[in-house]
Amino acid sequence: MKNKSLIIMTGILTLTIAACNNKTQEEASLNTTTTQSLGSGSIAFVSERNDNDNEIYLMNLADQRVIRVTTNTGNDLAPRFNLDGNKLLFNSRRSVAHGHNRPEIYRIEFPAKTVERMTTTATTDENQRGAWYPDDNSIIWQRGTYFPTGYLRFIKMDVTSKAETVLYDTGSKLHAAPAISPADANALVFQSNKDVATTFPSRLYKMNLTTSTVTNFVWPDNGDATAGGSDIDPRWSHDGQYIAFASARNGGDDYRHIYVVKADGSELTQITTGDFSDSSPDFSPDGEEIVFQSDRDGQEYSINIVNIQTKAVRAVGEGRTPVWSANNLSELGY
């Protein structure tokens, strides 16, 4: 992107990205299958459409206008909006800024478009999959590595002081994809292999951050942690009443589908079907639809939206790990 200005403040890197006047660099075709409105608000997603690096993009659902948000040497991945949809976390391997090639957590604030590096890790740990607390004053993410010996734990950070707290660490287990309830900052849902001897499958768990109590969540009916494919990518609805996740429990390990369940574990419902691998769900702000990534459109990664009630799926276009904001591109400064 053009017109970047770099400001160094008390050791924290803040990057202000000015609006780009050249639309050939800032906007890109999403190759959508329709010219009609796909909904309201916007989605952030990851794509490597313009170079070999994964970058963050924004798409206006009303007219499918797409803006490239990041331009770096190194992959920018795992975007996550706050509840108001005007702040975005992501992890990046921008090695020029880091002095290493491991991912660190960044945040973008809209409409100012300021980008701030949140983590600085001197060890071989990787910081990934950040998520917001409902008051925006704190974030949570996974720190560690998937590679042998696999070891991931959860870290909480105060976004003002940058003070870190270890929230959950049980040694050589893979605790991943943390998500805090928008309705209760003490309610955490995550995926983990904590009750199996191998790396997979992952199961879902809920944790009360006040009591540190961890409980199994929507395991397969037989209660065997090793039975069936993994349950992954848990996400809360905006009102904190439901959780969406992806599971291979009915896919014979070959296919993965989107499920929705009430926060108390009742009313488990399979939302998508077919010989596809669907994952990375995120609720629409009104809770009526879910955006997700899939291979159902003949691409390795494509973005789709499903209506929770009718289960009708409509294609959006190429991209991965989509997240939904109630704000349109104009409201986000584009």
Summarised one tens digit per residue, pLDDT across range 104-152 is: 999 999 999 999 999 998 788 999 999 999 999 999 999 999 887 789 9
Inter-residue contact 99 to 47 (CB < 8 Å): no
In the structure, what pLDDT confidence band is assigned to residue 297 with cuts at 50, 70 and 90?
Answer: confident
Q: Give the 3-state secondary structure percentages of the chain, helix then strand then coil, rounded to 5.
A: 0, 45, 50
pLDDT at residue number 251: 63
**Under 8 Å between Cβ of 269 and 259:** yes
Other CB atoms within a 10 A radius of the CB of residue 22 amount to 9
* Tens of pLDDT, residues 59-106: 999 999 999 999 988 899 999 999 999 999 999 998 777 777 899 999
For 37-72, b/e burial (b = at least 16 CB within 10 A) is ebbebbbbbbbebeeebbbbbbbbbeebbbbbbbbb
Nearest in space to 72 (alpha carbons), one of 84, 50, 55:
55
Query: For residue 204, what are the contacts with CB-CB under 8 A and spacing of at least 6?
Result: 189, 190, 191, 216, 217, 218, 219, 231, 234, 245
- The C-alpha angle with vertex 257 and arms to 292 and 188, in degrees rounded to 5, equals 70
Per-residue pLDDT band at 9 (split at 50, 70, 90): very low
Q: What would the two tokens of residue 182 be?
A: 């928008």
Q: Which domains does the chain have, with CATH numbers?
A: 4-325 (2.120.10.30)
1, pLDDT greater than 70: no
Strands 104-109 and 4-9: unpaired
- Its pTM stands at 0.89
Least confident of 194-203, 261-270, 273-282: 194-203
d(Cα 25, Cα 147) in Å, to the nearest integer?
36
Overall average pLDDT of the 31-50 stretch: 81
Tokens read off for 121: 């890790």
Banded pLDDT at 6 (limits 50, 70, 90)? very low
Average pLDDT of the segment spanning 198-217: 94
